[in-house]
Amino acid sequence: MEDILTQARKRLIFALDVPGLEAAIPLMDSLAGEIGLVKIGLEMFVKEGPKIVNEARSRDLECFLDLKLHDIPNTVESAVRSAASLDIQMITVHTAGGEQMLQRAKEAAGDIKVMGVTLLTSMDELDMEPAGFIRDTDEVVRRRALLARACNLDGLVCSSKETAMIRQIVDTDMTLVVPGIRPAGYAADDQKRVATPCEAIRNGASYIVVGRAIRDAEDPTTAAREVVKQIANGIENPG
């Protein structure tokens, strides 16, 4: 059986939010063996494309391609099929795209896990009405989680504040990826619905996403190990 730290390490996704390969490679070199996956977002993938996936996989790092695809069903289906030709393990689509788009994405994904984004963690109640929402954040997330389940998505990307609610309405084995993670004492920055690593795991997260707190640390390796310890605390002490 795996020890707690090994389990915790596998549940840490590092957000590789840097401008390009020159900055990414030293981080991946120092974090290989310390994290479970790297999250490759829009900035990085637009700049480097499949090269960044190849570099990560050459270091035995699994890849979470976080593009939040949201377009007409045919376009998203084609994009997911293209992504399936890469050696990635997860990809995100936005649940706001609707049932047909989500179903087509899942059908095109092959062995890749398709993760539905519910609501960006940079948004809170004050952002809802100006953005055209007529319901509060919990209700939007609840409806989108049910839609993702109905479309057989593999998991959801959601705030830690909503994981307990989601666990009550979707399959208990559905993968929940939680961004907006800030270790204790670290600034929230542009995130609004945030949690510490320990809180997120206790609330039901399968994986947590941490970026700046590791990337901007004086020693990213040490910072990653500290986050892993906090995840392990959440696993050992579910609260």
Instruction: Using the Cα atoms of residue 112, residue 165, residue 195 and residue 234 in order, give the sign of their dihedral.
Output: negative
Cα distance between residue 163 and residue 202, in whole Å: 10
Active site residue 39: no
Spell 59-98 as b/e; 16+ CB within 10 A means b.
eebbbbbbbbbbeebeebbebbeebeebebbbbbbbbbbe
- Please report how the helices 50-58 and 21-31 are oriented relative to each other, as an axis angle in degrees rounded to 10: 20
β-partners of residue 175 are 155
Residue of 68, 106, 161, 192 marked active site:
68
- Alpha-carbon span 21 to 217, nearest angstrom: 19
> Which DSSP helix (H) or strand (E) runs through 10?
helix 4-10
Task: Using alpha carbons only, give the angle 131, 189, 179 rounded to the nearest 5 degrees.
Answer: 75
What's the N-to-C CA distance of the chain in angstroms?
Answer: 23
Angle, CA of 166, 207 and 101, to the nearest 5°: 60
Map residue 55 onto helix, strand or coil: helix
> Which residues does residue 37 pair with via DSSP β-bridges, in sequence order?
13, 62
Q: What residues are labeled active site?
A: 68
